[in-house]
């Protein structure tokens, strides 16, 4: 894991703990309303989702702006999404169910919305496990493949959120719009890259200009990976796609 203690990074690290602090204060002052267990549980889940959206927003942000070097912030926000998701799961098991496994078992088996929560959490868990830099290096190409599952986790998390509601769609719809925008942006970049490929590599001329074009394509298609490689402070050899 990277621990570059510049000011902004430390600040972000601290700010991301505010929701938890706020929750602890509300709990201490009995400010969680008539159903405090559910309120605590749901607020933790909400924060996990919010950090997930923030995590997913980093790459498009890097692409549209000229800002670079946000990879470690993406990692930080992702880890916070996992952190709040873990607290959410623990609140469910400990606070709501007091670890009565027979009741928990039935609840999970019969509640479809929980299945999607479990799926999202398993993905989160494996992504968090492979989040450190050494894991990234060791996994090579597979790391990116694995971490693409974040989209599946995002979808599962929305269904998890939406299916426990009795029918009020406003907030999950808002989240759905965010995810569609974030995903849509990536699809757009991908389509554009494909078009560029066609334009830039006319048939017949493929071999002479290939090397040059590939460098150009890489810059457009995978800005975050390039960034990552450039930022790699360990000085080891870059992996090429």
Partner 1 sequence: MIIKTKKDIPGSEITDPLVFKKRRQIIKATLATMLTGGAISSAFANSTLPVWGDLPKSPVANDSLTVTPAEITKNYTNYYEFSFNKKEATSLAQNLITDPWSVEISGEVEMPGSYYLEDILGQQTLQEYVYRLRCVEAWSMVVPWVGFSLASLLKMVKPLSSAHFVKFTAVYQPQTMPKQLANAMLEWPYVEGLRIDEAMHPLTILAVGMYGDSLPKQNGAPLRLVVPWKYGFKSIKTIVKIELIKRAPITTWNKFAPNDYGFYSNVNPAVAHPRWSQNSERQLGTSFFTPRRQTELFNGYGNQVASLYSGMDLRHFF
Nearer to partner 1, 125 or 163 (CB): 163
Which residues, 145 to 204, sit near partner 1 by CB under 8 A? Answer: 163-164, 166-168, 170
Work out whether 211 is an interface residue with partner 1 (CB under 8 A).
no
Q: Which of 18, 33, 148, 216 binds partner 1 (CB under 8 A)?
A: 33
Which residues, 40 to 59, sit near partner 1 by CB under 8 A? Answer: 40
Work out whether 28 is an interface residue with partner 1 (CB under 8 A).
no
Nearer to partner 1, 28 or 215 (CB): 28
Crossing angle of helices 112-129 and 71-90, in 10° steps, is 140
Q: Which of 1, 21, 24, 100 binds partner 1 (CB under 8 A)?
A: 100
Size of the site for partner 1 (CB under 8 A): 28
Work out whether 90 is an interface residue with partner 1 (CB under 8 A).
no
Q: How far is the CB of 106 from partner 1 (least distance, A)?
A: 5
Work out whether 106 is an interface residue with partner 1 (CB under 8 A).
yes
**What does the chain look like in DSSP terms, one character per residue?**
------HHHHHHHHHTTHHHHHHHHHHHTT-S-S-HHHHHHHHHHHHHHHHHHHHHHHHHHHHHSS----HHHHHHHHHHHHHHHHHHHHIIIIIITTT-HHHHHHHHHH-HHHHHHHHHHHHHHHHHHT-SHHHHHHHTHHHHHHHTTHHHHHHHHHHHHHHTSSS--HHHHHHHHHHHHHHHHHHHHHHHHHHHHHHHS-TTSHHHHHHHHHHHHHHHH-HHHHHHHHH-TT-PPPP--
CA–CA–CA angle 61, 65, 67 (5° rounding): 90
Nearer to partner 1, 36 or 155 (CB): 36
Work out whether 112 is an interface residue with partner 1 (CB under 8 A).
yes
Nearer to partner 1, 34 or 204 (CB): 34
Q: How far is the CB of 26 from partner 1 (least distance, A)?
A: 13
Q: Which of 17, 24, 25, 37 binds partner 1 (CB under 8 A)?
A: 37
- Binding residues for partner 1, per CB under 8 A? 33-38, 40, 94-98, 100, 103, 106-107, 109-114, 163-164, 166-168, 170
């Amino acid at each position: 894991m990277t621990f570059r203690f510049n000011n902004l990074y430390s600040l972000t690290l601290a700010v991301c703990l505010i929701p938890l602090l706020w929750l602890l204060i509300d709990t201490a002052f009995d400010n969680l309303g008539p159903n405090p267990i559910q309120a605590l549980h749901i607020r933790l889940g909400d924060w996990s989702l919010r950090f997930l959206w923030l995590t997913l927003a980093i790459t498009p942000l890097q692409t549209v702006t000229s800002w670079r070097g946000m990879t470690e912030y993406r990692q930080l926000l992702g880890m916070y999404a996992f952190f709040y998701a873990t607290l959410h799961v623990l609140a469910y098991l400990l606070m709501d169910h007091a670890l009565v496994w027979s009741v928990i078992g039935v609840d999970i088996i019969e509640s479809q919305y929980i299945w999607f929560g479990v799926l999202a959490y398993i993905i989160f868990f494996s992504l968090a496990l492979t989040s450190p830099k050494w894991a990234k290096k060791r996994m090579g190409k597979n790391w990116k493949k694995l971490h693409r599952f974040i989209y599946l986790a995002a979808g599962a998390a929305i269904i998890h959120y939406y299916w426990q509601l009795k029918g009020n769609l406003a907030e999950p719809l808002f989240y759905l719009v965010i995810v569609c925008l974030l995903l849509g942006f990536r699809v757009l970049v991908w389509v554009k890259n494909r078009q560029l490929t066609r334009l830039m590599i006319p048939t017949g001329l493929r071999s002479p200009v290939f090397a040059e074009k590939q460098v150009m394509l890489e810059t457009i298609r995978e800005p975050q990976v390039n960034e990552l490689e450039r930022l790699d402070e360990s000085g080891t050899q870059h992996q090429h796609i």
